[in-house]
Structure formats: structure tokens, C-alpha cells
Structure 1
Amino acid sequence: MDEKRLSLLALHFIPGVGDYLIRQLISYCGAAEKVFKTPKGKLLKIPGVGEVTAESIRQGKPFAAAEKELARAEKEQVQLIFFTDKNYPSRLKQVSDAPSLLYAKGNIDFENAKTIAIVGTRQATEYGKACVESLILELIPHHPLIISGLAYGIDIHAHKHAVKNKLPTLGVMGSGMDVIYPATHKEIARKMMEHGGLLTEHPFGTQPDAHNFPARNRIVAALSDAVIIVEAAEKGGALITADIANSYNKDVFAFPGNIGQSHSAGCNNLIKSNRAHLITGVKDLEYIMNWDAGVNPVKKDVLHLEQYNEEEQNVLRTLHAHNGQMMIDDLSWRTNIAVSKLASLLLGLEFKGVIVSLPGKIYKLKD
């Protein structure tokens, strides 16, 4: 791993520094490796950086942890995917709270033309299991990537039947890659590696603490074109995933259940409040998702970029992937271009008539 990538990894081992502050540090300093070479006085001027954080950066201790983590990843055949990498999942990159680092293991095609999350209660009933089995059988001709959380109940049932029917499946974890939770799912996790695999944002050794799972659900929602809730109580992780998916403007579906049954209440309420489409089989999914028309849900680059240099193309592609407009700080993070340099690039693109500046340091592709 070169200095740039090792520095990116080291940023994740600075105590108290999360994804947002990593973005800030890179934006203000210009590159990950420059963060560790920036004088303490200048670090303290970066919003969110205090004395303790600045001192931790200057001591360089995160590099020892990063080198150890890298060695572990190589030994375990785990791929480290940084936000700035070309193979970072394009669907996940489009959400504002995307992780800055992913740990991936297996044979995962993040850019599969169709991605479906199937989630639900840990106390799945025979009805819920039957809904999963029937839906996955109907999905075979579409060959989607089936995404879930490796949990008891609906999640693991979706993974098992995807494997059984040779559909790729991805388990998003709320723990480190070396901590399969629950442990009873180690065997199915191993089988998933052939056509799919495992994904987490957490470093090796991270335990499956409760607060990791709502955060995990945002990754499930972001990676999916459609989120399908099979069974859910009035409160729980599946409903959190549905709410996140709705906030990302994803299509949410729910199987209806019997009135009065606790694990149907969540799905029925989603449908009743227009927060989910009712689904009884794959035809409902095909209709809403327009799959019969062969629409590829991944945004394609339709800009004519040949007249721009490489950095300008990077800026324009990034704007295009985020509904055509972004704040300069966010754009800096996603393009890995320092704010000072980016401001000059944006000014040049304004003169060329391809973008316009809006109040609040927002830049927008010109219609």
C-alpha cells in the first residue's frame, strides 16, 4: 500500500475521528498524507479538530495501527475500499453519510444492474419465510444482488435461499469482518463468498454492539434499488431500514400480514401510511421498478466530457452523480481535490458555461 492509501487508513485510527471529520481533514489539507504533515496550529483551525485530536495526528501513532490492520486484511483476504477508490460502490457513494472506508470479502459485484434488500424481523413466522422463498424463486430471471444483514429470522432466510438458488447475496455486518454475528451463521457466510460476500465499515475486532446496527442499516438501504420488508413489528431494525431508504428516495415494499399479528403490524403500518408499496410477488416489484422495460437503475454518465481535462471531468462526473448540485466542501471530499484548488477549477467551469454557483457555496450543473 502506498503512502496515500496508508495515510487514508491511518485517519480511521485517530481516536474520536469519524467519517465527517475525515472528510474535513482531507478537504482542508488537500490529501490524506498531508494531514499528518500539517502543523498543529493549522490543524486546530479546522472545524471539529481540538487539542487532543491534533496531538493524536501529530504523534503519528495511527500509522502503527493502520499497518497492523493492513497486514490483517491481507492475511484474511479482505479488500479495503476507500471512498476515493474507483471501485467504491456507486450507489453508496450517492448518499451524504456514506462510510469513508469499507471492508469487503468475497466475490461482490456492487454494480449489479439490480440490487434488492430483503429484511425483516428476527422472529420470522412460517408465513414470512414462505414469502421470502417464493419471492427469491420469482427473482431468479432478474439475477439481482440480494442484500441483507445476516441476522436471525428473515435476513438469514433471504441469504440461504439466495445461495440455494445461485443468486448473489451480500451480508452487511454491524461488526468487524472477523466477528461473524451471530456465530451460528458462519457456515452460510462462508457459502456466500462464492457468489457475493460480506461487507462492513468496522475494523477487525469490532464487536456487534447495539449501536452498530442502525448505522449498518443505512448501508443496506443505500446499496439497494428497492428495500423489501417481509415481516416487522411496530418497532425494530427493519422499520429503521425502511425509514432510511425512504429518506434516500429508494423504493420500499412491504408484504401485508394478518391484522392483529405482532410481526405484521410494522409492514401494515408502512403500507397504510404510504411509506411502502404493497407487494405480494415479483410482478409488483417489476411494475414499480419498471424492470420489464429493462431500465438500469444505475445512473450513467451522459455528459460530453472529452473537451475537459481530467480534474474537470472528475468534478463534472461527481456533480452529475449527485443530482447535479453539491456544496463545495462535499464536492472537495468526493473528488479528493483540496478546496483551494477546487475553487479555481469551479471558477474555470463557470467561465466555460457548464456550471453555475448558487448561494451557500453550492455549485450546480447548468441546465
Structure 2
Amino acid sequence: MPSLDAESLALLQLNLTSGIGPRLQSLLLARFGTAQAIFAASGSEILQVDGIGPKASAAIVSGRNLSDAQEEWNRCCETNTKIIFRHAKDYPPSLNETSDPPPVLYIRGDVLEQDLMAVAIVGSRQCTHYGRTIAHSLANQLARAGVTVVSGLARGIDAAAHRGAIEAQGRTFAVCAPGLAHIYPAEHKQLAEEVTQQGALITESPLDRSAQRGLFPQRNRIIAGLSLGVIIVEATRTSGSLHTARHAMEQGRDVFAVPGRIDTVSSEGCHDLIRDGAVLVRRVEDILDALSPALRPVKTNPQTVVAVARELNLNDQERTVLNLVDFSATSIDAVLNRAEMEASRVLSTLTVLEMKRLVRRLPGGNVERVTG
């Protein structure tokens, strides 16, 4: 079993200490410099830090032997759970740029470089069939475009978003409020396992922390922080997903909202967001076009190239011909030779793709793929 260095073990113990959240951890580290120095300090020295009371000070002092952290680390190793500290090079950079990043992340699954291109989809737990269908469809199309779909593993919209990405063989993150020893809701254990196969479960909560009401709004800042933008699908004016939208605005992320019926309360929160400047979502292109400066073309395998804009509504023939065109000059004769269809159909399809600004013609009988 691998071991943690002394400073990381102290950081883990600090995260496990009752009453010491991310803000107080930052204040303590600013005062003492290292987690080891915090546990070496006297109770009176710890009390000098703003926000630290006698109860929190006593909890820190009682944890000096770091035994809780060692036990937690051993359990993580046994359950294939990674721990990433904020100072580590593999800590998600988009999350590190937020004002209140988690000092410790628990991750079950894999976080890849391509997951920097992530978009969150959140909304009501008591969603309608319309909301569930839209969330599933948007997630499916975003995943096909190489975008990682982030959500919160909750019932309703969250679950539909995860399933849409999984069915597209795409990437998805589930940001959990409780610890990973307590999958919530319990009926989503199978879904959580599928997420780990095509992405990751992520939380800042220790393994044994159970689901508590206050954890969910706190969790929402991580959903926003991992994402380039947040899409709200069906939200009443009291929906918790509006907290995610607020975090996204504060973090400088784009906020998108899907409209619903104007005579129901289920989308009043979405309509308020649209009125206040959120991007109206009619189709997936509205999202991809708004995020296009931050996105780049992604290769899903050596034979299939998926661009992140304007390609999702192509028919099979158009997509087949497009995938024969490289991002550098490609001979039209080479496209004709590789295409398993009549030459006239290939040439007419290239014309359609040119009209859709997906390819451009070059001198000498060549074409090339358009990247933006």
C-alpha cells in the first residue's frame, strides 16, 4: 500500500477535522505556512486565527497524531479512491482558479486532460418528461462533441445528463455532496459505477460523511468550478440549481438556460435567468457556439474526428464525407477514392459541407476541414 508524505497526511487530517471547512483551512495555512505547523502549534496560537473558536482549536489539537488521516488513506487505497491535494500538479486547474477551491478532492475514476472541456447540466429533481428528455439529449450531443458532462448524480435532470453522456460513450463527472462511501441517492449506485467507467465521481467530503442538507449548495460551487459553463434545465425560483448558476456567474463562467412552458412554475427560474442575461438554449449549437473560443477539435479515435460546432446535425452521409477531410489540405481525388459511394454524391456533399462552413476549397483541387 503506498504511503503519504508527512505534509499530505497532515493536510488530510486537517480536512477531516470537525468544524474546519475550506475557508478556515486557508486561513490556518496562511497563518502557519504548512499543515504540519498547524498541528504543532499550541491551542492558544490556533485560537489567534480569525474564525477559530475553542471547539475547533481543541479538535485540531486532538488530531495531532494524524491517526484519522492514516486510516482514511488506507481505506482510500482499498477502494481505488484517489486523493488530490490543492497543491498537486494534477489538481483540476479550472477549479483552482475559483475563490474557494476544495483543499482536498476524493476521486473515484479518472480525470483526463480532455476533461478541461467540460460543461455542467443541472436542474430539478422533480423534473417533467420534457426536462428529462432535453437534459439527456443535450448531454448526449455534448459528449459526442468531445465535451465532458458534469452534474451532481441527483435524481431527475442530473441523472438524465449522466445517462445521456454515458450512452454517447462520452465522458462525465458526478460531483457528490456526501463521501464516496455513501452514494446518494442509494438507487444511483449502478449509475455511479457507470460514471466511474467513463469519467469520475468527485467530492470534497471524507469517505464516511453522510448526505446532509448543507452539503449540496456547497457542492454546487465545485460543479461550476469544473465547468466552462453551466446549463440549467427546469428550475423553479427556489431550485438549488440556481445556486450553481450563481457560483458560475461569480466564477466568470457562462450560464445557459433552457426555456419551458410559460404557464408552469417548473421553469420560472430558467426564465428569470434568461431575462437577466443567461444564454437561451434552443439547441446544442447555442452552447457550442457560445463556448467556441474555449473549445478545440477533439479526436475520439484515429478514424473519427468530431468537431465541437455545427457538426451535430449532419446526416450520416455528410458526416462520413466530412471525416475523410483532414485539417490540412486534402485532395478531392483522395476523398473520392476513400468514400464508398458514387463520386457525384461525394462532390454534392462536399458542396453542402462548404455551404455549412465545415470545409473550404483550396487551389489545386484540394479541400480542408474548418476548425472554427
Name the TM-score class by shorter chain.
0.7 to 0.9
Q: Which residue of 1 aligns with 2:190?
A: 187
Q: Which residue of 1 aligns with 2:97?
A: 94
Q: How far does the alpha carbon of each residue in 1:220-261 deviate from its partner, in whole angstroms, 9 at most, with x for none?
A: 011110101111112111111111211111101111111112
Percent of aligned pairs with the same amino acid: 36
Q: Which amino acid aligns with 2:17?
A: I
Runs ≥4 residues deviating over 4 A? none
Q: Which amino acid aligns with 2:131?
A: G
Query: How much does 1:269 deviate?
Result: 1.5
Deviates more, 1:153-162 or 1:42-51: 42-51
Q: Which amino acid aligns with 2:279?
A: H
The answer to whether 1:279 aligns with 2:281 is yes
Over 3 Å counting, the alpha-carbon distance change for 1:36 and 1:128 in structure 2 is: same
Please list, as runs of the form range in 1=range in 2, the aligned pairs for 1:292-331 lying within 5 A after superposition: 294=296
Q: Which amino acid aligns with 2:283?
A: G
**Does the CA-based 8 Å contact 1:14-1:62 persist in structure 2?**
no
Query: How much does 1:290 deviate?
Result: 2.3
Q: Which amino acid aligns with 2:280?
A: L
Query: How much does 1:6 deviate?
Result: 0.7
SS in 2 for 1:36: helix
Over 3 Å counting, the alpha-carbon distance change for 1:46 and 1:189 in structure 2 is: same
* Structure 1 portions without partners, runs of 5+: 297-367
- C-alpha separation in 2, matches of 1:84 and 1:217: 22
Query: How much does 1:26 deviate?
Result: 1.9
Q: Which residue of 2 aligns with 1:13?
A: 16
**Does the CA-based 8 Å contact 1:13-1:62 persist in structure 2?**
no
Q: Which residue of 2 aligns with 1:252?
A: 255
Q: Which residue of 1 aligns with 2:173?
A: 170
- C-alpha separation in 2, matches of 1:173 and 1:160: 16
Give the alignment partner of residue 238 of structure 1, picking from 225, 237, 241.
241
Q: How far does the alpha carbon of each residue in 1:296-331 deviate from its partner, in whole angstroms, 9 at most, with x for none?
A: 9xxxxxxxxxxxxxxxxxxxxxxxxxxxxxxxxxxx
- C-alpha separation in 1, matches of 2:291 and 2:146: 15
Deviates more, 1:161-170 or 1:14-23: 14-23
- C-alpha separation in 2, matches of 1:270 and 1:120: 13
- C-alpha separation in 1, matches of 2:226 and 2:294: 21
Give the alignment partner of residue 153 of structure 1, picking from 150, 156, 161.
156
- C-alpha separation in 1, matches of 2:229 and 2:294: 15
**Does the CA-based 8 Å contact 1:232-1:267 persist in structure 2?**
yes
Query: How much does 1:120 deviate?
Result: 0.8
Over 3 Å counting, the alpha-carbon distance change for 1:136 and 1:293 in structure 2 is: closer
Kindly name which structure, 1 or 2, has the bigger radius of gyration based on alpha carbons: 2
- C-alpha separation in 2, matches of 1:271 and 1:62: 52
Query: How much does 1:61 deviate?
Result: 4.8
Give the alignment partner of residue 289 of structure 1, picking from 267, 288, 291.
291
Query: How much does 1:129 deviate?
Result: 2.2
- C-alpha separation in 2, matches of 1:174 and 1:113: 21
Q: Which residue of 2 aligns with 1:58?
A: 61
Over 3 Å counting, the alpha-carbon distance change for 1:42 and 1:138 in structure 2 is: closer
* Structure 2 portions without partners, runs of 5+: 299-372
Give the alignment partner of residue 198 of structure 1, picking from 181, 198, 201.
201
Q: Which amino acid aligns with 2:84?
A: I
Q: Which residue of 1 aligns with 2:82?
A: 79
Over 3 Å counting, the alpha-carbon distance change for 1:37 and 1:112 in structure 2 is: same
Q: Which amino acid aligns with 1:286?
A: L
Over 3 Å counting, the alpha-carbon distance change for 1:187 and 1:16 in structure 2 is: same
Q: Which amino acid aligns with 1:259?
A: I
**Does the CA-based 8 Å contact 2:142-2:149 persist in structure 1?**
no
Give the alignment partner of residue 126 of structure 1, picking from 113, 126, 129.
129
Q: Calculate the TM-score normalised by the size of structure 2.
A: 0.74
Query: How much does 1:72 deviate?
Result: 1.1
Give the alignment partner of residue 271 of structure 2, picking from 268, 271, 277.
268
SS in 1 for 2:200: strand
Q: Calculate the TM-score normalised by the size of structure 1.
A: 0.75
Q: Which amino acid aligns with 1:215?
A: Q
- C-alpha separation in 2, matches of 1:39 and 1:61: 11
**Does the CA-based 8 Å contact 2:178-2:211 persist in structure 1?**
yes
**Does the CA-based 8 Å contact 1:178-1:204 persist in structure 2?**
yes
**Does the CA-based 8 Å contact 2:143-2:149 persist in structure 1?**
no
Query: How much does 1:292 deviate?
Result: 9.3
Larger RCO (CA within 8 A; separation ≥ 6): 1
The answer to whether 1:37 aligns with 2:40 is yes
Over 3 Å counting, the alpha-carbon distance change for 1:211 and 1:53 in structure 2 is: closer
